[in-house]
Amino acid sequence: MKILNFKIKENIIGLILFLTVLSLQAQEIDILIKNGHVFDAKNNIDTISDVSIAAGKIVRVAPSISEKQAKQVIDATGLYVLPGLIDPHTHVFVGPKPGKFADGSNSLSPDDFSFKSGVTTVVDAGTSGWQNFPQFKSQVIDQSKTRVLAFLNIAAQGINGTEIELTKIEAEKHDINEMDVAKTSEMILEYPDIIVGVKIGHFNGESWAPFDRAVEAASKTDRPLFVECHLPEYSLKDQLDHMRPGDIITHSFENIDERMPVVDENGKLRPFVLEALERGVLFDVGHGGAGFWFDQAIPALQQGLWPNSFGTDLHRFSMNAGMKDILNVMSKYLNMGMPLKDVFLRGSYYPAKAIKREDLGNLSSGSDADIVLLSLRSGEFGFIDARNNSIKGDKKLEAEMTIRAGKVVWDLNGLAAKPFEKN
Amino acid sequence: MCRRMERLQRASIILFFLLLLFLNAQAQEYDILLKGGHLIDAKNNIDGPMDLAIADGKIAEVARNIPKDKAARTIDVSGLYVTPGLIDMHAHVFMGNEPGAYIANGATSVMPDGFTFRSGVTTVVDAGSSGWRNFPLFKEQTIDKAKTRVLALLNIVGTGMRSRFEEQDITDMNPEMTAYSIQKLYPDILVGIKAAHYWGGFTQVDLAVEAGKKAGVPVMVDFGEHNPPNSIEALFMEHLRPGDIFTHTYSNGPKERETIVDENGKLKPLVLKAQQRGIIFDLGHGGGAFTWKQAVPATKQGFKADVVSTDLHTESMNSGMKDLSNVLSKFMALGISLPDAILRATWAPAKVINRPDLGHLSVGAEADVAVFNLRKGNFGFLDVRRMRLKGDKKLEAELTLRAGKVVWDMNGIASEDFKE
């Protein structure tokens, strides 16, 4: 009996496998991307391959997938095919209030910037807190085609200052008593698929209570802490010492009075920064309008501090400055000497891991089909930092096509279109 | 004796430095010099190599060779095209989050600064997102805060483009109030009137023209949602005045809007007649209003839109439209020359909206300047039906200046080299 039972089981499993293979073969493909150079770090793919998409999901990545079942075929010859980029540092709680980040025009609409630069997921860096996250969700997150995730600010109202003397107003406005661990954690657990961590960003006092509470809320909800540099009374070393492995510090290469820079006056990376890196603290670029300086980023890169992600710190004051968009930030690193594959890794797979969303940043079968087709353009380019210094370069990444959940949402040169001449 | 000598010496040294300072100040009469570029300025009939100097936010000199030492800062623009800052005559920038609203204070509008400077645009004309009732909010919220110069056509509907349903309300189309807002309240910002999205006959257009006559400004008509369509011949020859504007010129939705090219690919003769009469044709690309099916035969048969514009909003920004430099590149893919395309996004719209102070590089004009790279390569240009036309040229904004300030610098040509 036992043997028979085993055989039946075996047969059933065999039958199911057989049916699965059949259905995979028979399944109609909505979009087939042919002949691109697929780079999918999670699945160890780094070669010319095809990618098939159906019902908004990745069906499979394989060297040669037949065009027979495909409704649409996109020729990606000469292009890189990557998981959609993830920008872990943006400000997208956009609204009509002039001079405001939360519900204001200092934040930007995510769809205005994401797809044209290959981004399919943005993480809002604490523009909202537990008191106004629901408004952010209904007003922006639910309305956007871009996947919008968020770090929840430990400050109850998020970034609710004005553009003038932001930190000062934050300090006055943000009551420590409203930096509530329980309420922050509750909000995170109410939206576990959207809120990926906790942010500490603007605080002028010497008390470590806000920082400690942010860490506590992050620990309680098993999420990373995101540390932005506007904490002038905390030393850089103390901040790094308070961070756990997996926590993220941003504006890593900033050189302003508000925080000690990572590279000292002699151009040497401070040893305690390297120690934090070795301990597992993650460094995000967080470019912004003032957060990226070549005199920090270049020596840091040379001395071993490579950023883990290319957060843009997208907002009204960075969009038209040296930042521009994530591909421009990635191109900067490419021209600073970071190898292309390392740039790609930090564009989608690493940030997905950093926010503990390993469902993103890969092309595994069954994943949401968030994909970008990138071209590597050659020419004479220049890249600007926060001090309006520039470096020259000969390479630049461009988004040819962006696909979000299986839909073409950006098509620079009409790769997915029919030629007009033939009609 | 000795001391006096010393004093004299000191005095003369000070004098010498003062003289140097004075000379220096004299020498650097300009703030910025754009040197070595190819200048295109239709109003002034310039299409050739020319330097351009800026002082105090204004154009100070345009000449073949302006010496570097006359400017505090020289930007090398050799190999690039220098044009007046572009004017996008059709955009929707009344961004907001009012419940139930779509373009007026709604999320279908966009914030201007994220799209303008990176495509060489320094002035946008909002095409009727607001009406006289909500224009003050639009001004306070967007126009006064934007770095882009934002002008506007006032919608003949009091609440502007709040919802398609409200846009049908004839009782809220008030020529008196509309004209009053334009003439008396905001004459520097409001440059015309918009009539759009109306489902009925000619009532809306006629009310808009009535307001246009009272205020002395042009009317722009989006004639697209009439089922069955109204006659464009009647619109052009009877209802509109010379100087009034027909937008979405190359749209192809014949069930709702009469097209300019017929089913057999023939340009309707009345279109050229209307253009001769002075009707202005605006491209107004948008998410659904530009087709190769209309644009290719129309161009071949000798017709060109007078003004090239985007109809920027969230449904067009990531589609075939993208931005104004892309739309201009598409226009060039039709076989139209660069200077002709630039004309239609600078001096031509400036004249249409009666703003002769804009759209050129005359000495004394506000220094709104764009510098373009004409990139060569294999490009594809999408229309709204996902049809692709090939092209080998594409405009890219290298540098944009608004009132003499650098507001976009793609490759750092206006920056200092980083030294380790």
pLDDT tens digits, residue range B290-303? 999 999 999 999 99
A148: tokens are: 């919008």
| Residue range A83-111: mean pLDDT, rounded | 94
pLDDT of residue A177: 79
pLDDT of residue A323: 97
pLDDT of residue B362: 98
Q: Taking CB atoms and an 8 Å limit, are B96 and A98 in contact across chains?
A: no
Provide, as residue numbers in chain B, all residues whose Cβ is less than 8 Å from the Cβ of A103. Answer: 97
Provide, as residue numbers in chain A, all residues whose Cβ is less than 8 Å from the Cβ of B320. Answer: 414
Question: Using an 8 Å Cβ cutoff, are B365 and B400 in contact?
Answer: no
Question: What's the rounded Cα separation, in Å, for the pair B117 and B398?
Answer: 10
Q: What is the mean pLDDT of chain B?
A: 95
pLDDT reading at B258 higher than 80: yes
pLDDT of residue A401: 98
Task: Name the minimum distance, in Å, from the CA of A262 to any CA of chain B.
Answer: 16
pLDDT of residue B5: 57
Q: Taking CB atoms and an 8 Å limit, are B410 and A324 in contact across chains?
A: yes
Q: Taking CB atoms and an 8 Å limit, are A390 and B416 in contact across chains?
A: yes
| Percent of chain B residues past pLDDT 70, beyond the cut | 95
Question: Using an 8 Å Cβ cutoff, are A347 and A310 in contact?
Answer: yes
Give tens-digit pLDDT for A244-285: 999 999 999 999 988 999 999 999 999 999 999 999 999 999
| Percent of chain B residues past pLDDT 90, beyond the cut | 90
Question: What's the rounded Cα separation, in Å, for the pair B123 and B103?
Answer: 19
Side chain identity, residue B351: K
Backbone angles phi, psi at A164, to 5 degrees: -90, 125
pLDDT reading at B8 higher than 90: no
Name A53's bridge partners: A31, A58
Residue numbers of A between 254 and 283 with CB closer than 8 Å to B: 267
Cα–Cα distances (Å) from A212 to A107, A273, B320, in that order, read 27, 20, 49
Q: Taking CB atoms and an 8 Å limit, are B412 and A416 in contact across chains?
A: no
Within 10 Å of residue A236's Cβ, how many Cβ atoms?
Answer: 18
Q: How far is CA B321 from the centre of its chain?
A: 14
Within 10 Å of residue A390's Cβ, how many Cβ atoms?
Answer: 22
B373: tokens are: 């790279």
Q: Please indicate if any CB of chain A lies within 8 Å of the CB of B187.
A: no
Question: What's the rounded Cα separation, in Å, for the pair A297 and A315?
Answer: 21
pLDDT reading at B420 higher than 80: no
pLDDT reading at B222 higher than 90: yes
Chain position carrying tokens 């929707």: B92
Residue of A154, A193, A192, A190 whose CA lies nearest to A175: A154
Q: Please indicate if any CB of chain B lies within 8 Å of the CB of A116.
A: yes
pLDDT reading at B27 higher than 80: no
A76: tokens are: 């990606």
Residue numbers of A between 2 and 31 with CB closer than 8 Å to B: none
Question: What's the rounded Cα separation, in Å, for the pair B33 and B52?
Answer: 6
pLDDT reading at B413 higher than 80: yes
ipTM confidence score: 0.91
pLDDT of residue A164: 45
Chain position carrying tokens 């629901």: A134
Question: What's the rounded Cα separation, in Å, for the pair B301 and B267?
Answer: 7
Q: Taking CB atoms and an 8 Å limit, are A108 and B111 in contact across chains?
A: yes
What is the pTM (predicted TM-score) of this model? 0.92
Residue numbers of B between 268 and 327 with CB closer than 8 Å to A: 292-293, 296, 314, 317-318, 320, 322
Provide, as residue numbers in chain A, all residues whose Cβ is less than 8 Å from the Cβ of B111. Answer: 94, 105, 108-109, 112, 316
Residue of B119, B95, B98, B121 whose CA lies nearest to B108: B95
pLDDT of residue A17: 61
pLDDT of residue A169: 46
Question: Using an 8 Å Cβ cutoff, are A406 and A371 in contact?
Answer: no
pLDDT reading at A236 higher than 60: yes
Q: How far is CA B339 from the centre of its chain?
A: 15
pLDDT reading at A393 higher than 90: yes
A271: Cβ–Cβ under 8 A, 6 or more apart, which residues? none
Give tens-digit pLDDT for A326-339: 999 999 999 999 99
Residue of A308, A366, A352, A315 whose CA lies nearest to A333: A308
Question: What's the rounded Cα separation, in Å, for the pair B63 and A188?
Answer: 63
Question: Using an 8 Å Cβ cutoff, are B123 and B87 in contact?
Answer: yes
Q: How far is CA B253 from the centre of its chain?
A: 26
Give tens-digit pLDDT for B145-181: 999 999 999 999 999 999 999 999 999 999 999 999 9
pLDDT reading at A422 higher than 60: no
Backbone angles phi, psi at B313, to 5 degrees: -165, 180
Provide, as residue numbers in chain A, all residues whose Cβ is less than 8 Å from the Cβ of B411. Answer: 380-383, 390
B322: tokens are: 């993208």
Residue A171: pLDDT band (50, 70, 90) is very low
Q: Taking CB atoms and an 8 Å limit, are B415 and A389 in contact across chains?
A: yes
CA dihedral B260, B263, B265, B267 (to 10 degrees): -30
* Nearest CB to B107 within list A105, A143, A391: A143
pLDDT reading at A160 higher than 90: no
Residue A98: pLDDT band (50, 70, 90) is confident
Q: Three-state DSSP class for B242?
A: coil
| Residue range B72-94: mean pLDDT, rounded | 98
Of A357 and A5, the structure prediction assigns the larger pLDDT to A357
Q: Which DSSP helix (H) or strand (E) runs through A190?
A: helix A181-190
Provide, as residue numbers in chain A, all residues whose Cβ is less than 8 Å from the Cβ of B379. Answer: 413
Name B46's bridge partners: B41
Provide, as residue numbers in chain A, all residues whose Cβ is less than 8 Å from the Cβ of B102. Answer: none
Q: What is the mean pLDDT of chain A?
A: 92
Chain position carrying tokens 């639009």: B138
| Residue range A305-325: mean pLDDT, rounded | 97
Q: Please indicate if any CB of chain A lies within 8 Å of the CB of B389.
A: yes
B187 dihedral zone (left: phi>0; alpha: psi -120 to 50; beta): alpha
Cα–Cα–Cα angle for B209, B214, B218, rounded to 5 degrees: 45
Secondary structure of B202-240 in the HEC alphabet? CHHHHHHHHHHHHHCCCEEEECCCCCCCCCHHHHHHHHC
pLDDT of residue B226: 87
Question: Using an 8 Å Cβ cutoff, are A331 and A354 in contact?
Answer: no
Chain position carrying tokens 């089913």: B263
Side chain identity, residue B250: Y
Question: What's the rounded Cα separation, in Å, for the pair B180 and A119?
Answer: 46
pLDDT of residue A12: 67
pLDDT reading at A3 higher than 60: no
